[in-house]
A and B are shown apart, each in its own frame.
Chain A
Amino acid sequence: MVINSRFFNRSELIGFIVLAAVLFVILPLSLDVFRLNLVAKYLTYAFVAIGLVLCWGYGGILSLGQGVFFGLGGYCMAMFLKLEASSVENTKIQSTPGIPDFMDWNQITSLPLFWQPFHSLSFTILAIILVPGLFALIIGTAMFKRRVGGTYFAIITQAVAAILTILIVGQQGYTGGINGMTDLRTLKGWDIRPDHAKVILYFVEVVLLFACIGIAQFIRLTKLGRILVAMREQEDRVRFSGYSVANFKIFAFCMAAIFAAIGGAMFALNVGFMSPSFVGIVPSIEMVIYTAVGGRMSIFGAVWGSILVNFAKTSLSESFPQLWLFGLGALFIAVVLAFPNGLSGIWADYVQPRIDRLFAARKPKPAAWTDDSVADGAPAE
């Protein structure tokens, strides 16, 4: 991978440094472990939001089924953790020791076949990437090869989210039903519940998040990213230029699915359970609003959107549970009507010019000089 000196332009570099400083230094130093763990939970949605920036902001494909991939990733991780938590010693009191408790409650006497491979951590990690990726590949191929897009795609992905939720809730013996998989304890013998583990998991998650930001930024800068934008604006013209529009759409959709799945897996690790309430229609559409609030064209905006909306949700629903739905509804409408580019749009329209003016005022030399110096100072390899 060749990182040229323009991997981030100046404003993106500022965004990158601010985000890194906040996530790596300021939040861990200023918050107690409980609040830090909440931030870790918010950040799991940031993975989904970054995927949506690629797929919706750049590709123009609105998926209302990201909860499906979030859930698939989360459930894969949770299955591994649940198996480890249900060792024979831990489950002595069950009528069949060694299987997860909810199976025992549902009169299942042996571990189902599709659960068996989840004894292995390496298989689980592969599954977290491959299961949602392949699922997205199947849906994407079926839909985009037939040139289904736009609103129809949104509705069908939404239906898929509904189907998966009903299935998970209905098949209680295999999935834990409406309660989901609870009581996850250890990862390869390492307890994930105490405070120091939560802090370590937080940092692992932030590192992964920045890896995803890097991948997304790389895709955005390559020709691929430009084709995605071209496709969103003039699909037919791209097709007539000889590009296979369907394949690019499938790629964007699969990437978004994989990002969402990583977020889901981190959710299971950080929060310690996984349930169908993070899979269905409502969470899926809320994930879209995180992206929309942050700015559907901005990768950093998506991260900020996820953090801020979830923070508002936690604090509002703690103190004014009645107001939260009004607030969220108003947010949806406001973002669509007044701020279609979200926070990053507001930043670019109102804050950025002021900063530029400030820089220009402080340094009377020509602006081009500062641009060059910053570009040279960018993380060049």
Chain B
Amino acid sequence: MFGDYSLGDLGSIFVMQGFAGLILFSVYVLMALGLAIIFGQMGVINMAHGEFMILGAYVTWMTSNLFQTYLPSLFSGYFFLAMILAFVASGALGMLVEWVLIRHLYKRPLDTLLATWGLSLILQQAYRSVFGAREVGVELPQWMLGSLHVTDSIEVPINGVFVMCLTVLITVCVAYVMYKSRWGRQVRAVVQNRIMAGAVGINTEKVDRYTFGLGCGIAGVAGSAFTMIGSTGPTSGQLYIVDTFLVVVFGGAASLLGTIASAFSISQTQSTLEFFLSGSMAKVLTLLAVVGILMLRPQGLFALKVRK
């Protein structure tokens, strides 16, 4: 499969595909971060995570439309406001869902899966009723269009670079919140031992609600970033949900570092294979490899040693 390309071409191909993989990596990381918090920390399987992401995407789309109509002068900066709005909208919806649905099901993780799947169907249909079945795309501000020419054969799109910077920033924020802040310490305490955490005065219900909200909020930001590189439809979220769960499981649930490493390896494998094989075979081979490795090493790449 390498026969027809010269060495220089191959180098460029790998760099370009590697970069395309990095954008996929950003989407995976952003989605998987939220999921890793919800699944890894709380043990809740949120099948509606993709729909929280799409909510963020729709909020971004609405914000961009608003700016275009009423504040065209500020259009180049709309994205930052949109991101915050997406976080707030998805986070608020997440907290509502936790209060109505999830908090009754903490002892039955498999049932959270079924219930959130039902939620995802309802949300999908709601998006379809409100925004229509057609996919929508946002208009990017001028400074995000175009691409950087690195060498003659290598060029990287600016929006991709932006999405990656965003990913790094959010990852750092999440890591800080989870591992350095007082609140993150409370979350980890509740995860490790709910009863003891309650006994030392942590309001575990409140922690649960905010943790779920945070995970969903990050999904909203992921949706915001997602609009930069693709169009949004009512069922776009579902396309990513299985991949994202595999990313989280492959990385070892409850390990943020593992999530990032597994998102990186999965996205890079997939996008490099995509160039040489058809898209579907690349995906099949990648997923097969992940499932195969998980069968050999069920705890994932980076597992915490925990007693059951």
Contacts and interface: CB of A to CB of B under 8 A. Distances in A.
Between B45, B101, B105, B294, the greatest number of chain A beta carbons within 10 A of the residue's beta carbon is seen for: B294
Interface stretch (A149-157, A203-211, A218-226): A149-157
A151 B45 contact: yes
A166 interface: yes
A158 interface: yes
B117 A152 contact: no
A131 B295 CA distance: 20
A340 interface: yes
B284 A328 contact: no
B249 A329 contact: no
Interface stretch (A95-103, A112-120, A189-197, A285-293): A285-293
Contacts of B284: 163, 166-167, 170
A281 B50 CA distance: 14
Nearest to A236: B308
Interface in A320-345: 322, 325-326, 328-333, 335-337, 340
A160 interface: yes
Question: Which range contains the number of A residues in contact with the other chain?
Answer: 35 or more
Given A62-B110, A159-B246, A281-B242, A333 B281 contact: no
A150 to B, nearest CB: 7
Contact of B294 (A156, A166, A335): A156
A159 B298 contact: no
Interface stretch (B76-84, B122-130, B134-142, B162-170): B122-130
Interface string B281-296: 1011001101100110
A329 B119 contact: yes
A147 to B, nearest CB: 8
Given A292-B114, A325-B124, A163 B287 contact: yes
B243 to A, nearest CB: 8
B92 interface: no
A333 B108 CA distance: 13
Interface in B91-125: 101, 104-105, 108-111, 113-115, 117-122, 124-125
Contacts of B121: 325-326, 328-329, 332
Contacts of A340: 111
A321 to B, nearest CB: 10
The 7 closest A-B pairs by CB, nearest first: A332-B118, A170-B280, A329-B122, A329-B121, A325-B125, A142-B295, A329-B118
Given A143-B295, A329-B125, 6 more contacts: A151-B109, A158-B245, A170-B281, A285-B117, A288-B114, A330-B122
